[in-house]
Structure 1
Amino acid sequence: MKSPLLKLCVIAFCLLSTISFAQNQSLTALPSVLYLAKDKNIVETTGDSDNHKILMAAVKATDLEDVLGQSGPFTVFAPSDNAFAKFSKEELQKLFLLENRKELKSLLTYHIVAGNLSASKILRALCSGKGKTTFRTVQGTKINASFVGTDIVLTDSFGNTAKITEADAKQSNGVIHEIDSVILPSKL
């Protein structure tokens, strides 16, 4: 008898394979600007996105444009503007102050993993890890990934979670996965 987790892994893998096939067949059916730019790098695509203005402002403020514009590959768990909107206006303003650039850079690099982690690679890691896995970020600490229902959810060391809402936006230098919350390497 197969375990429920194994069944979930098989179903999720089949679903991701179908989505990947559909993406390759018809990009026009996909809602995100992120999917339409395989020939662009992560910085170019993020800069073109109407849904990642705050993320792009943070990338520019911390001089990460040069790094994320290089060959990589990188995996970026990209918080949407709605994810950043969960912070108060004062928290965001404070984070962008010149004296807090180190903290802002730490926050951003916590959302980046070296290498190209497609959704299917994350799924395989989750399946082999019995529904849980960890990834070391460019910032130097780990983020946890797990299944919550059929969603892939990232969890920081404080228990904050972020669900991958759009996966596998392939770029010339890696992949972007949009997430619905900002995960934190430390308390703000």
Structure 2
Amino acid sequence: MTSTKLMIAVAAAGLLATTGCGEGAAGNNAATATDAAAKAAGDSTIAEGIGDADTFAAAAKQAGLDGTLAGPGPYTVLVPTNAAFDKLPAGTLDALMKDEAKAELTGVLTYHVLPGEILAADIGKAIEAGNGKALLATMAGGTLTATKEGDAIVVSDGAGSKARISGGDERRSNGVIHRIDTVLMPS
């Protein structure tokens, strides 16, 4: 395993351990935290909580991911706003929404999904622990880099495109949603 891949694996494992184990003494029960989050979110899943991000919702349905986002999770989804999709080069979204591009669309969308429930504070702590950056493993098998610009958390894709988390910690029964202002693309 290369040192870069090892660093990604260690960062992802550490981030998941931070979010999965709860805070405080070893006697804390992670299920209690999950139950509390589910109670706060009610029965609303990530799929139902996407709200006014119509483009992401339509793309998830086209890719067949709407059922997954309604499933048990937990997931953390970085949901690009409609305005984020509008910033894509002309024709990109139309090409991705074609039946023959389903695999590519799925890759783009799962690049926005992280395993586990990762709150903004967890990302912030990982950035601090990583001396200014944290590597986040995606469900697509890629890696996002999280940094801070002022008080804002920014995630970057492999090509260097940056998305600012503009609304975060929208808890749902199967995870959490963070709104972002740019569509991230796997390299």
- TM-score normalised per structure 2: 0.76
Aligned pair 1:44/2:48, yes or no?
yes
1:89 CA displacement: 4.5
Residues 118-133 of structure 1: pairs in structure 2 closer than 5 A: 118-133=119-134
Aligned-residue Cα RMSD (Å) equals 1.1
Partner of 1:102: 103
- Cα distance in 2 for partners of 1:41, 1:95 equals 25
What is the CA deviation profile of residues 30-58 of structure 1, one whole-angstrom value per residue up to 9, with x for unaligned ones? xxxxxxx8120000111xx12x0000000
Partner of 1:181: 182
Unaligned runs of 5+ in 1: 1-36
SS in structure 2 opposite 1:185? coil
1:127 CA displacement: 1.0
Partner of 1:85: 86
What is the CA deviation profile of residues 45-99 of structure 1, one whole-angstrom value per residue up to 9, with x for unaligned ones? 11xx12x000000000011112111111000000000000002442211111111
- Cα distance in 2 for partners of 1:116, 1:129 equals 19
SS in structure 2 opposite 1:103? helix
- Cα distance in 1 for partners of 2:118, 2:164 equals 16
SS in structure 1 opposite 2:179? strand
SS in structure 2 opposite 1:116? coil
SS in structure 2 opposite 1:124? helix
Partner of 2:57: 56
SS in structure 2 opposite 1:140? coil
Stretches of 4+ moved more than 6 A in 1?
A: none
Q: What amino acid is aligned across from residue 92 of structure 1 in structure 2? A: L
The number of equivalent residue pairs is 147
SS in structure 2 opposite 1:77? strand
SS in structure 2 opposite 1:183? coil
- Cα distance in 2 for partners of 1:119, 1:87 equals 25
Unaligned runs of 5+ in 2: 1-39
Q: What amino acid is aligned across from residue 143 of structure 1 in structure 2? A: L
Identity of aligned residues (%): 37
Residues 142-153 of structure 1: pairs in structure 2 closer than 5 A: 142-153=143-154
- TM-score normalised per structure 1: 0.76
- Cα distance in 1 for partners of 2:107, 2:156 equals 16
Residues 159, 88 of structure 1: alpha-carbon distance in 2 compared, 3 angstrom cutoff? closer
SS in structure 1 opposite 2:91? helix
Q: What amino acid is aligned across from residue 45 of structure 1 in structure 2? A: G
Partner of 1:24: none
